[in-house]
Amino acid sequence: MTDHSGYDLMVIGLGAMGSAALYQAARRGVRVIGLDRHAPPHTLGSTHGETRITRQAIGEGVDYVPFVLRSHDIWDELASRTGQRILNRCGALLISQPDDGTDRGIRTAFLHRTRQAATTFGIAHEMLSADDLRRRFPQFGTTAEEVGYYEPGGGWVSPEAAITAQLSEAARLGAAIRTQTVVAKLDQHGGGVVATLSDGSTIRADRAILSAGSWVADFLPPAMRPVFQPHRQMLHWFALDRPDLARTWTDGPVYMWPHGEGQDDFFYGFPSLDGGGTLKVANEQYNALVDPNAFTRDVGNEESRRFYDHSLAGRLLGLTPRVVKAATCLYTVTPDSAFVIDTHPTMDLVQLVSPCSGHGFKHSAAIGECAVLRAIEGQSPIDLSAFTLARLTGG
């Protein structure tokens, strides 16, 4: 059976990018349907775990800054519409050696590039000496050689709140939403796009946005699938045991901390959201590819302890190795860790919005808007030329 409901646009995948796109389409009066294999917000992809860091000066590259600035505006507007707080501006702190030359991939020379982006875009920030760090942020066990970059406009986004608000508003504005719906195949013919579902039924729309997260490779030619590589990531909530620092941890900033000379010597974390009882902290692992449909979702205590001993002990004061809870999520990473926002390589009526290599949520509201405007108007308000698929495939 084919759904001939006259959709202008179909959005496949309703996580960070897809829920944003669905909302932006619906608010513009587009006849839009959104499909997801699960029921977002859920814990099976890349957009869960209570918090995601956001910052305005993007050390990964200045091409990203317009996305995050626009995303903050969208979330502020959405919060005023829904009463749902999405963006929490508690400040963002980067701690680093001043001349860190370690190869950290897209985060190489992260302190320098972050400061450069802030200067270029006029983003409020402070550079902190080692003494400034110890005085302003006594919860961190910094050394005499480490300095800081502090951005008052940074903070964290609730992925669950953002997705819920975007989907709720989209539905209120007339979008159709079908969850627990697996798209088995996507085709373009007859001047439109047809999604064949796992039950054999089909849905037709004039155009589509493909924002399927870690499942995006299922809709690409076989030779291009290796461009998108899913990696298992671990999130840890450790117990705090310093009542004298409880207020400091509760009122503190989000933080990012490259340390050591290994590419994996990097972690990030958040203020305490439960009054000084726990901290959520994580690092990044790229040592094994996983199947998004079948990978180890539990985190072993030994994995948490290894992370604690290697990166956290002595740096986050009052943090104990006792794990209160842990979770996994997925990063789907391109070879250069940059985004792909482009027309599908074989279907020109489909916009491809990649999973974003573990640094995309803060940009997602604007990326959803850009994808919709590119689909329905043929152009994006933000320059997307740095995010082509061809740069990775040679096409």
**105-159 per-position pLDDT tens digit:** 778 889 999 999 999 999 999 999 999 999 999 999 999 999 999 999 999 999 9
Residue 53: partners with Cβ closer than 8 Å, 6 or more residues away = 92, 154, 155, 156, 157, 254, 256, 268, 270, 362
Selected from 3.40.140.10, 3.20.20.190, 3.50.50.60, 3.40.462.20, the CATH number assigned to the domain covering 2-48+159-227+336-393 reads: 3.50.50.60
CB 10 within 8 A of CB 344: no
Q: Kindly list the domain boundaries of the chain, sorted by start residue.
A: 2-48+159-227+336-393, 92-152+229-333
CB atoms within 10 A of CB 359: 21
Query: Which pTM value belongs to this model?
Result: 0.96
pLDDT of 60 > 80? The answer is yes
What radius of gyration do the chain's Cα atoms show? 21
Say if residue 226 is preceded by a cis peptide, omega within 30 of 0: no
Residue 211 and residue 367: Cα distance in Å, rounded? 11
Selected from 2.40.70.10, 1.20.1250.20, 2.40.10.220, 3.30.9.10, the CATH number assigned to the domain covering 92-152+229-333 reads: 3.30.9.10
Q: What is the pLDDT of residues 154-210, one digit of tens each?
A: 999 999 999 999 999 999 999 999 999 999 999 999 999 999 999 999 999 999 999
Report CA torsion sign: 348, 391, 361, 215. positive
CB 155 within 8 A of CB 52: no
Residue 97 and residue 143: Cα distance in Å, rounded? 9
Residue 393 and residue 305: Cα distance in Å, rounded? 39
